[in-house]
Amino acid sequence: MNGLERVISALRSAQFVVALTGAGVSAESGVPTFRQAQTGLWAQFDPAELATPEAFARNPDRVWAWYAWRRSLVEQAEPNPAHRALAELARRLPRFTLITQNVDGLHQRAGSAEVIELHGSLQRYRCAICATPVAIPAEAHPPRSPVCVRCGGHIRPDVVWFGEPLPEAALSAAFDAARRAQVFLSIGTSGLVEPAASLARVSSRAGALVVHVNPEQPANMSAGDIYLCGRAGEILPIILARLAEVGQENAR
Ligand code: OAD
């Protein structure tokens, strides 16, 4: 049986399936990834100047402007067939949990109702000092970082920066799901950033079949994992279509 057929057969018998996505799932929507040579955000921008609490404390307006630019990019982008296929998988499988490292909101726009956001969201904001959430509609995005009406602290995007812990509830829900899954799909992530990169290994140790969907082999592949080489926007719709075909064949 080839890799794809093994994945289909595992998905058909699984009671619980988990998918973890990274920047690659939004690449076909035109949202830049982080680590790809030339086009990745970290090839063009220094994360130490833009994605750390220290950078924000030094120059809140520069960090604010960069995140405003990223938010405008994702708001102009549309969900692609990979996002839509994952929303459809949630409807077809008995139990399905979607975990993302992305902050772009494209899974939700594609119809995924419940998404565990490990790294926060570009669409949410909070005070950097007292953590009060603040709503900032895209059309009323101020050019400079506003200040909190409660404590006077600067308002920041509610994303995880380097050196910061991940949101506790999201992290523990993600590891719980990884331990319970029979199939763990790791899609469009380089597998280099912890703790998200460990989810696949934890799931595999707990007995899941781990499947990587990526045009390049990710760093966190282990022996026994299946690697489906290609774009998420091509492979995930094939998985969906094949699942439906096999379902019909078995019904005959
Ligand atoms: P990376 O930029 O590290 O990796 C993107 C992955 O997507 C690479 O492995 C690509 O090969 C793959 N890829 C590119 N196009 C693809 C496509 N069409 N279909 C499938 N895969 C494709 O992004 P992440 O792994 O998401 O964190 O990075 C993890 C975290 O590092 C991010 O959430 C961000 C960053 O620093 C924070 O900002 C906290």
Q: How far away, in angstroms, is 250 Cα from ligand 1 center?
A: 37
Q: Name the pLDDT band for 182 (thresholds 50, 70, 90).
A: very high
Mean pLDDT of 159-186: 98
Report pLDDT digits (tens) over 89-116: 999 999 999 999 999 999 999 999 999 9
Least confident among 41-45, 102-106, 186-190, 196-200: 41-45
Residue 251 has pLDDT above 80, yes or no: no
For a pocket test of ligand 1, which of 45, 158, 190, 239 has the largest count of ligand atoms closer than 8 A to its C-beta? 190
Residue 231 has pLDDT above 80, yes or no: yes
For a pocket test of ligand 1, which of 189, 194, 213, 221 has the largest count of ligand atoms closer than 8 A to its C-beta? 189
Q: How far away, in angstroms, is 107 Cα from ligand 1 center?
A: 15
pLDDT at residue 213, as a whole number:
98
Alpha carbons 57 and 67: distance in angstroms, whole number: 15
Among residues 119, 141, 154, 212, the one annotated as catalytic is 119
Q: Does the beta carbon of 193 sit less than 6 angstroms from any atom of ligand 1?
A: yes
Mean residue pLDDT of the chain comes to: 96
Q: For the whole model, what pTM was predicted?
A: 0.97
Q: Does the beta carbon of 35 sit less than 6 angstroms from any atom of ligand 1?
A: yes
Q: How far away, in angstroms, is 193 Cα from ligand 1 center?
A: 9
Task: Give yes or no: 212 in active site.
Answer: no
DSSP string, 170-202: HHHHHHHHHHH-SEEEEES--S-STTHHHHHHH
pLDDT at residue 44, as a whole number:
92
Q: Counting atoms of ligand 1 from 1, which one is nearest the CA of 159? A: 39
The answer to whether the CB of 196 falls within 8 A of the CB of 118 is: yes
pLDDT at residue 241, as a whole number:
96
Mean pLDDT of 132-151: 92
pLDDT at residue 140, as a whole number:
80
Q: Counting atoms of ligand 1 from 1, which one is nearest the CA of 191? A: 25
Contact partners, residue 21, CB within 8 Å, separation at least 6? 86, 98, 99, 100, 101, 102, 107, 187, 188, 189, 232
Residue 252 has pLDDT above 80, yes or no: no
CA distances from 215 to 28, 178, 227, 241 (A): 12, 23, 10, 20
* Intrachain domains 3-31+79-119+166-251 and 40-76+126-159 with the same fold: no
Alpha carbons 5 and 17: distance in angstroms, whole number: 16
Mean pLDDT of 181-202: 98
The CATH code for residues 40-76+126-159 is 3.30.1600.10
Burial (Cβ within 10 Å: 0-12, 13-18, ≥19) of residue 149: exposed
Which alpha helices (H) appear in the chain, and where do they start and end?
Answer: 3-13, 24-27, 41-44, 47-50, 53-58, 60-76, 81-92, 106-109, 168-180, 196-205, 232-251
CATH architecture for segment(s) 3-31+79-119+166-251: 3-Layer(aba) Sandwich (3.40)
CA distances from 93 to 3, 16, 35, 165, 247 (A): 20, 8, 32, 32, 12
Q: Counting atoms of ligand 1 from 1, which one is nearest the CA of 103? A: 33
Residue 181 has pLDDT above 90, yes or no: yes
What are the structural domain ranges in the chain?
A: 3-31+79-119+166-251, 40-76+126-159
